[in-house]
Structure 1
Amino acid sequence: MVWSVSRDTKAFTRGSSHEPGDWASKALKQLWCPDPSTTYYAIDLRCPDAFMRIPEALSASLHVYYPEDEILPCVGNITPEFSFVDLHIDNGQDVLTTVVGDGEDCVKLWALYPPEERNLDLFYARKGQDNKFINLCDRLEGGVFAMQGSEQTMYLPAGWIHAVYTLKGGLAPGTTWSTAESFTVINDIFKREVEAKSASYDTAVPLLQSCLVALRGQNADLQQRAARELCVALKDIRKLAEADGEQWPTRLAVDVSNVLKEKYSSCPQCGQPIQAHICRGKRKRGQ
């Protein structure tokens, strides 16, 4: 497996603040020479020659958004011993991750909390703050702790809040995906990210993906709910896309628009023509 490491790879240190540290090579070095005083780890490295497949036991019961090539993108983390990733949410998406050690097991300890309203309220009240796990672990409800070793795969349902401590260092390839079934959770998290002013267009992508597969499905109630909620969210999605330099409408937004037009002559939320929602503004020539 080849992992793509570049100067803009996100590398962090374990400490009171998770500010970007020096380049990811330090994290790679610490796989063999752990340093408990200043532990570097790197996240979201691209794995262009690798892919992960959703187990049939999961995919059979979910309506999954797949890219055109139907291969879920794989990313990887370099996590030396003593690495700690504080409480976070992966954009409300489902998560599949495994670990690989160097001659011995990589071992991780997970703290997992369901995306119930009280838990999300507590989490977002501390959005952007350090030491979230320390301050919230005795207040979050329904928590589960799990150990993960090499050749074991962890599945996190959509929206679960989680923190990870590495007991024995290693590499952690993984992937995320959006489903129709997770639309409500993804939409709730998107609203909270917007309110916390921490949203980007990347935050909106899972919402558009989930909406798309919901609209393509057979659940009429979910279709209408997705159409209504998207109407409310679109103003924020457009702003985020433009702020991030994306040409609006993005290709994903156009796909959603086309499916909406097949289902509805006008928006079930505001009554306006569907085309006016998504395709306000023109794509640049060649886009």
Structure 2
Amino acid sequence: MIKDISPQEFTMDKLLREGFSWPLVFTNGAPVGMRIPEGLTPDVVAKAAGLKSRVEVINCASQEGIQMPLGQFVEYFTGGEKRSLPRGRISAKIYNLIDLEVSHTRLTDLIDAPLLVRQLDWATNLWPRDLLPPIADLPSEQDHTFSYPKTQKYVLMSKAGSFTDFHIDFGGSSVWYHLLSGKKIFFVIPPSEKNRNVYAQWVRSGQHLVFLADEVDECERIEISPGDTLMLPSGWIHAVYTLDDSVVVGGNFLNSLHGEMQIDISILEQTLKVKKSTRYPFFSDLLWFAVRRYAAVLKGRSPNMSQYEIQSISAVVNYLKAYAELSPSVSPVAAKRIYSPLTLLKEVESHVKRLQECATNSGLIFAMNLPLYDRHVESPEIGHPTTAPQLLASPARMANADHVIPMAFVM
């Protein structure tokens, strides 16, 4: 079930032909284009992200979160004075920081996801540039008023004994996960319909009463060590146990190979009444921006698309059609940029049907990243000219992504 893969094997052509359906583990070298600075310690992260920044850490016994300043957590993590911790009792508990997103700190220019992740990621490729904030000059000057999916670059710090119970990453997003130090064990369950139903029942009945792995037919154990990178596809149910104090860099990404699973997980979250604050941010907006992108790149073209990409965008169109027929309004951010949603969906639907009839499994092209004919494309279906989506990382930077920047830069 688990595939050990070399960096050279992890190519776009392989993903388009075979899909991305099983966890991938890189034990003999990092994925191409991944960049993480040397010397990324908890203290460096805290100074770069802001010592006073409020973070939510998980009490591993109750699986509930509490708020504290980042600097305070790092002092706890590195064995600092116990008296600095809340109520003087936290030292007897194990706390786990898994939600520190650093894309709007000084660390953002020092960390890059694997190149293929950046090429696949909807947030990287489709989010409007005018909604992205400038990088703050100082860690304490982060501006949280800008709207964008803060999901691409996380730093996780886990004490030995930390346990994150079984869950599915928000919105069915896929995950890249690089272990800098320590040791972790993942317990992973395939996202079959049967397993998702068992998971849903387990959540409803009280997660702490039963170990979910005992309720399913198949659960596999993955142990990762320093230098290893794990890639988890959309929808996989997983729990994580920390054997040794660990520091991880990773991220979540929606993409055009998993449209159906991403929608299924989003619907499951609604059914389970998952809090909106813990769902993938701007999920519906990204669906609309994906459709807008395909309307632009497929107009007048017949690329040989992967069956996975075709099925994915088809699922997105069908979901948005059902949603738009119930409510003519579009999600808040997309509403300002898409003016004829039903017309847009019909156009992409016709493109997809046309391409399904002539698809083969050789010479495949990832259509989402095809260049637009012009810098601005006039599209009556959208309403007015739209600027071609730009990657958050320039092609030149992507090509040199293995360059290591000294940590002194962030100090």
TM-score, scaled to structure 2: 0.52
User: Residues 230 and 172 (structure 1 numbering): CA distance in 2 closer, same or farther, change over 3 Å?
Assistant: same
User: Residues 4 and 117 (structure 1 numbering): CA distance in 2 closer, same or farther, change over 3 Å?
Assistant: farther
Alignment match of 2:114 (pick from 45, 48, 54): 54
SS of equivalent residue, structure 1 residue 251: helix
Q: 1:75 Cα deviation (Å)?
A: 1.4
SS of equivalent residue, structure 1 residue 131: helix
User: Residues 82 and 221 (structure 1 numbering): CA distance in 2 closer, same or farther, change over 3 Å?
Assistant: closer
Paired position in structure 1 for 2:152: 73
Code of the aligned partner of 2:198: L
Alignment match of 1:205 (pick from 248, 260, 282): 282
Q: 1:141 Cα deviation (Å)?
A: 3.4
Alignment match of 2:174 (pick from 75, 94, 97): 94
Runs of 5+ unmatched residues, structure 2: 1-44, 81-89, 133-149, 295-304, 351-380, 383-411
Q: Partners in 2 of 1:263 and 1:142 — Cα distance?
A: 38
Q: Partners in 2 of 1:116 and 1:181 — Cα distance?
A: 17
Are the equivalent residues in 1 in contact too, given 2:260–2:312 (CA < 8 A)? Answer: no
Code of the aligned partner of 2:74: L
Q: 1:119 Cα deviation (Å)?
A: 1.1
Q: Partners in 1 of 2:71 and 2:223 — Cα distance?
A: 27
What is the correspondence of 1:9-28 to structure 2 with a 5 Å cutoff? 9-15=55-61, 17-21=62-66, 23=68, 24-25=70-71, 27-28=73-74
Runs of 5+ unmatched residues, structure 1: 240-247, 269-273, 276-287
More divergent stretch after superposition (63-72 vs 175-184): 63-72
User: Residues 121 and 81 (structure 1 numbering): CA distance in 2 closer, same or farther, change over 3 Å?
Assistant: same
Structure with the higher fraction of residues in helix conformation: 2
Q: Partners in 2 of 1:31 and 1:237 — Cα distance?
A: 48
Q: 1:186 Cα deviation (Å)?
A: 0.9
More divergent stretch after superposition (179-188 vs 251-260): 251-260
User: Residues 6 and 115 (structure 1 numbering): CA distance in 2 closer, same or farther, change over 3 Å?
Assistant: farther
SS of equivalent residue, structure 1 residue 52: coil
Q: 1:31 Cα deviation (Å)?
A: 3.2
Alignment match of 2:251 (pick from 175, 195, 217): 175
Query: Deviation per CA, 1:145-197, whole angstroms, max 9, x where unpaired?
Result: 11111111111011111111110112222111111211111111111111112
User: Residues 117 and 95 (structure 1 numbering): CA distance in 2 closer, same or farther, change over 3 Å?
Assistant: same
Q: Partners in 2 of 1:127 and 1:136 — Cα distance?
A: 9
Paired position in structure 2 for 1:45: 100
Code of the aligned partner of 2:60: R
Paired position in structure 1 for 2:235: 159
Are the equivalent residues in 1 in contact too, given 2:152–2:253 (CA < 8 A)? Answer: no
User: Residues 121 and 204 (structure 1 numbering): CA distance in 2 closer, same or farther, change over 3 Å?
Assistant: farther
Query: Deviation per CA, 1:66-96, whole angstroms, max 9, x where unpaired?
Result: 2457997311222111111111111201100
Paired position in structure 1 for 2:224: 148
User: Residues 234 and 5 (structure 1 numbering): CA distance in 2 closer, same or farther, change over 3 Å?
Assistant: farther
Are the equivalent residues in 1 in contact too, given 2:291–2:348 (CA < 8 A)? Answer: no
Q: Partners in 2 of 1:113 and 1:76 — Cα distance?
A: 24
User: Residues 250 and 170 (structure 1 numbering): CA distance in 2 closer, same or farther, change over 3 Å?
Assistant: same
Code of the aligned partner of 2:163: F
Q: Partners in 2 of 1:53 and 1:260 — Cα distance?
A: 35
SS of equivalent residue, structure 1 residue 150: coil
Q: Partners in 2 of 1:156 and 1:232 — Cα distance?
A: 29
Are the equivalent residues in 1 in contact too, given 2:317–2:348 (CA < 8 A)? Answer: no
Paired position in structure 2 for 1:264: 346
Q: Partners in 1 of 2:71 and 2:214 — Cα distance?
A: 36
Paired position in structure 1 for 2:396: none
Query: Deviation per CA, 1:203-254, whole angstroms, max 9, x where unpaired?
Result: 4634542564366446666544322212334699999xxxxxxxx7422455
Are the equivalent residues in 2 in contact too, given 1:97–1:153 (CA < 8 A)? Answer: yes
SS of equivalent residue, structure 1 residue 44: strand
**2:32 is equivalent to residue 3 of structure 1:** no
Highest RCO, 1 vs 2 (Cα 8 Å, sep ≥ 6): 2
Q: Partners in 2 of 1:6 and 1:234 — Cα distance?
A: 43
Q: Partners in 2 of 1:161 and 1:5 — Cα distance?
A: 33
Are the equivalent residues in 2 in contact too, given 1:12–1:42 (CA < 8 A)? Answer: yes
What is the correspondence of 1:214-229 to structure 2 with a 5 Å cutoff? 216-217=293-294, 222-229=312-319
TM-score, scaled to structure 1: 0.72
SS of equivalent residue, structure 1 residue 127: helix
Q: Partners in 1 of 2:191 and 2:240 — Cα distance?
A: 17
Instruction: Please tell me whether Structure 1 or Structure 2 has the larger radius of gyration of its CA atoms.
Output: 2
Paired position in structure 2 for 1:244: none
